[in-house]
Amino acid sequence: MAILDMVFMFFLVPAVYGQFMNGGQLCKTLDTLFMYTPEAAREVLACLGPLLGRYRLVELTLDLVYPVVYSLFLSMVLTALLRNTPLEQKLLRYLPLLPILAWLSDLLENLGIVTMISLYPEIPRPLAAAASLCTSMKWVFVGLSVASSIIFSVYKLMIKCKPQL
């Protein structure tokens, strides 16, 4: 799972998202932003222009598979790190659900983005606001998942290296 995640993270995703060049200008994509307004969404889609079909295809293929890969990987990492520790108790046992919440937010974000592409140039404000909220939630849950993984890795190392009295 880790190898698959690295293939996506370091090769497939950069290769695909790096292709969104319109007239020599590299266009951002909505799902790589932390948040955006309806006006900003319209500007991003306008920059993509003739590439909107390709962007929709990416959202309906690669961006449906990759979130499954990263969320399962992060959930497995958190589950392994919390196993056999006193931290396993109480609310921390739900920590491995954070990546699943990221996946759900990513899925809803993709639905919003594909709908905006389909409706472009008319983008309803509530739709853009909902898609932006899902994008922000995705990044928050991914960030919390990665930060938790790092924190609990350090915690495990400290316990392992602690001198026995």
**Residue 164 counted as domain residue:** no
**Residue 7 counted as domain residue:** no
In this structure, which amino acid lies at residue 117?
A: I
Which helix or strand (DSSP H or E) is residue 59 part of? helix 52-60
Residue-wise pLDDT tens digits, 123-156: 999 999 999 999 999 999 999 999 999 999 998 8
**Residue 58 counted as domain residue:** yes
**Residue 161 counted as domain residue:** no
Does the pLDDT of residue 2 top 80, yes or no?
A: no
**Residue 22 counted as domain residue:** no
Residue-wise pLDDT tens digits, 37-85: 999 999 999 999 999 999 999 899 888 998 999 999 999 999 999 887 7
User: What's the structural domain count of the chain?
Assistant: 1
User: Angle of helix 62-82 relative to helix 98-119, nearest 10 degrees?
Assistant: 170
**Residue 135 counted as domain residue:** yes
Q: Which domain holds residue 105?
A: 35-86+93-154
Tell me how many degrees the CA angle 134-139-142 measures, rounded to the nearest 5: 120
**Residue 9 counted as domain residue:** no
**Residue 20 counted as domain residue:** no
